[in-house]
Amino acid sequence: MDRPRLPASARPTGLTRRSLLGFGAAAASGLLLPGCSRGRADEPAPSEKAVFATGNAGGVYNVFGAALSELVSEVTGVELTPKVSDGSVDNLNQVASRKADLGFCTSDTALAAYEGTGAFATGRRKFCALARVYDNYVHVVVPMASKAKELADLFPSSDAPTRRTVVGVGPKGSGTEIVANMILDRARADAIMANARVEPAKRLDPDKIQVIRRNMTLTEMAAAIQPEPKATKGILDAFFWSGGVPTDPIAALQKTIGFRLLNIGGVAQAIALMEFGGFLVAPIPPSQYGLAESVPTLAIPNYLIARTDLSDSWAWWTVNTLFRRQNDLVKGVLVPGATPATPGASPTPPGNPEAGALDPRSAIATMPVPLHPAAERWYRQNHI
């Protein structure tokens, strides 16, 4: 399958987490292949139940988190309950406030929470990391019929002064909203600069160079970009999504209105160079959505985070299961309550192709967020 992988880290210089752990990357060959092994039999099982804050219902965080929870519950004999949430910001707040024990979040929101900036300006959040898992890819979706070719085409210009574009930016307070606003703000600044170079008679008022931003869930955005009966266009002209690829509600649009992804490589490169937090520029391969060509975009690593006082047992067994049962995560596991594909049939396990990107050598790259001591111990034990 033509699937994006976690980009290889640049050769480290100076003090790195790997040097802190005391082993080189070459030692990773000692790690057993993922499979059905429980790991060390003398590692105690957790003594009480735990909660895993995942993400929007049906999104990659939610599906991946439910599958991992099921496997961890299986190998420990103690229930790890997946919980639907509003994504990264919500998960960080829930973990920090002890409403959840584990959660997923993006590297940029983790950095903001760790430093007490942006959405977390009210104060730093206390949490730790278990692993870097897979990367999110920013999707900027437009209908196939849209005339937009690049981000600048979403804003009013001297050639289209009355343009009024409505853009979905994800749920309020989500990681998608944060990165969408970052990209749109950068694109707006570029549009204002371009406007300043236009002859004075054709220049627009800079305050009018805007797009209308709407907070919606992924399901709502996928529906709102499609026209109602007898309408020529949907409520949304475009929408942002930050997630794994392929994301099913987006892929399904190819069977209805058809869609394209805007090339945001230029803005992505500027953000990756300016912002610390693990931002990368990477392509979404055409095979993921039946596109004509690969589309450069912004890639954002995801972290598996935990309460700072999470028990060593829960931390160790979660990391152990993440890698020992990697093949099962890729293929999908049968989650209780899943809906059968056809009447009378067994529920079809949802596969998690993102799990194919898991690599223990990349998993330790969560700095500046510290690793949980038991997670660090697991990596040491497996010579990472």
Out of 11-15, 100-104, 203-207, least confident range? 11-15
For residue 60, what are the contacts with CB-CB under 8 A and spacing of at least 6? 243, 244, 247, 352, 354
Encoded tokens for 55: 């993400």
Encoded tokens for 119: 């959405």
Closest by CA position to 316, among listed 22, 50, 110, 114: 50
pLDDT averaged over every residue in the chain:
86
Closest by CA position to 56, among listed 67, 68, 64: 64
* CA gap 179, 183 in Å, rounded: 6
Residue 108 — very low, low, confident or very high, per pLDDT cuts 50/70/90?
confident
More confident residue, 4 or 355: 355
Q: What is the pLDDT of residue 273?
A: 85
Q: What is the pLDDT of residue 272?
A: 87
pTM of the full predicted structure?
Answer: 0.71
CB burial class (10 A; 0-12, 13-18, 19+) of residue 315? buried
Tell me the pLDDT tens digit for each residue of 238-282.
999 998 888 889 999 999 999 999 999 999 999 888 765 568 899
* CA gap 355, 105 in Å, rounded: 15
Which phi and psi angles does 14 have, rounded to 5°? 70, -150
| pLDDT > 90 fraction of the chain, expressed in percent and rounded | 66
For residue 334, what are the contacts with CB-CB under 8 A and spacing of at least 6? 70, 346, 347, 349
Within 197-311, where are the H helices? 218-224, 248-251, 265-274
Mean pLDDT of 333-350: 54
Per-residue pLDDT at 345 exceeds 80? no
Determine the 3-state secondary structure of 194 from DSSP: helix
Closest by CA position to 362, among listed 336, 328, 329, 326: 326
- Written in H, E and C, the secondary structure of 51-86 is EEECCCCCCHHHHHHHHHHHHHHHHHCCCEEEECCC
Q: What is the pLDDT of residue 356?
A: 85
| pLDDT > 70 fraction of the chain, expressed in percent and rounded | 84
Give the pairing type, strands 238-243 and 128-143. Answer: antiparallel
Give the pairing type, strands 259-261 and 212-214. Answer: unpaired
Per-residue pLDDT at 19 exceeds 70? no
Determine the 3-state secondary structure of 329 from DSSP: helix
Encoded tokens for 372: 């949980």
Residue 173 — very low, low, confident or very high, per pLDDT cuts 50/70/90?
confident
Give the pairing type, strands 128-143 and 259-261. Answer: antiparallel
For residue 26, what are the contacts with CB-CB under 8 A and spacing of at least 6? none
Helices (H) and strands (E) in the chain, counts: 12, 10
Q: What is the pLDDT of residue 141?
A: 98
> Could you give the C-alpha distances from 128 to 110, 163, 223, 306, 358, in angstroms and in order?
10, 45, 36, 5, 19
Which phi and psi angles does 301 have, rounded to 5°? -60, 150
Closest by CA position to 188, among listed 211, 162, 161: 211
Closest by CA position to 4, among listed 133, 137, 107: 137
